[in-house]
Every structure is written in structure tokens, then in C-alpha cells.
Amino acid sequence: MKFGWTIIYVRDVQQSLNFFEKAFGLKIKTFQENFYGELDTGETTLAFVSHEMAEASYPGGYIPADQNPDKPVGVKISFVVENMDQAYSQAISAGAIPIQMPIQKPWGLVAYLHCLSGVIVELFVPAS
């Protein structure tokens, strides 16, 4: 078995793609109207799908991650970065909301942000 992709359901696919491109330097790989988009993240895909497509896929309904904008949803995506100061500043400048400023942990330097779609984003520099 191999992990294939992560999909984040969002209100505005184009806005989410643009945010992740500006905040984290990821290039847009695919954009299909306003219902599906992917970022170029390497081997594993990070994609965004509209709430309308999610509702069509889950007839029983689902809870959007950004339903409560004051609290991040219980899902985290992580980016390994080389320069925490630069990556953190870039994300904040793009509109990410800080949850935890960079802090040293036994396993490395970490920072937590809340992105526009309600998902927690971790920036991580591994301990050397």
C-alpha cells in the first residue's frame, strides 16, 4: 500500500491554490474550473475540491473544515522547510493565522498556522 493524496474541501478552490502558492511557495499543478485543483508537492498530491463536489460525493453530508473560523479543524498537513524564519514570515504575509510561533521541540523546530480552509499547517525543520 502507498499513500496517494490528501484532498482538502474548500469554499473556493482558486483562492486556496493561490494562498498555498503565495504562503508556502508551492506551484499550481492542475486547476479545473472551480471544483478541483492540485499543487506540485512532489510524489504525494495535495489537492483542493469544492464544497459542492464534496456534497455530491457524500450524500449524507459532511462538515466543512472552515465551518468554525475561530478554531482549526482536527487535521494537520506538514511542510518540511529549510529556513523557518523565511517560511513562517512568508506564510503570515500571505494571510495564514498563527497558532504557535516557531518553537524548539526535541524532534525539531516547529510552527503551527491556521490556513484559509480551516486546516492546520505545520512548518517543520528537523533536529540535526
Residues 2-30 have a mean pLDDT of: 94
Mean pLDDT rounded to a whole number for the chain: 92
Q: How far apart are CA 31 and CA 21, in angstroms?
A: 13
Q: How far apart are CA 50 and CA 11, in angstroms?
A: 6
Residues 83-93 have a mean pLDDT of: 97
Q: Please say if the pLDDT value at position 73 is more than 90.
A: no
Q: How far apart are CA 93 and CA 97, in angstroms?
A: 10
- Listed by start position, the domains of the chain span 5-126
pTM for the complete prediction?
0.89
118 — alpha (psi -120 to 50), left (phi > 0) or beta?
Answer: left
Choice between 61 and 72, residue whose per-residue pLDDT is larger: 61
In the three-class reduction of DSSP (H, G, I as helix; E, B as strand; rest coil), residue 83 is classed as coil
Q: Which fold has domain 5-126?
A: 2,3-Dihydroxybiphenyl 1,2-Dioxygenase; domain 1 (3.10.180)
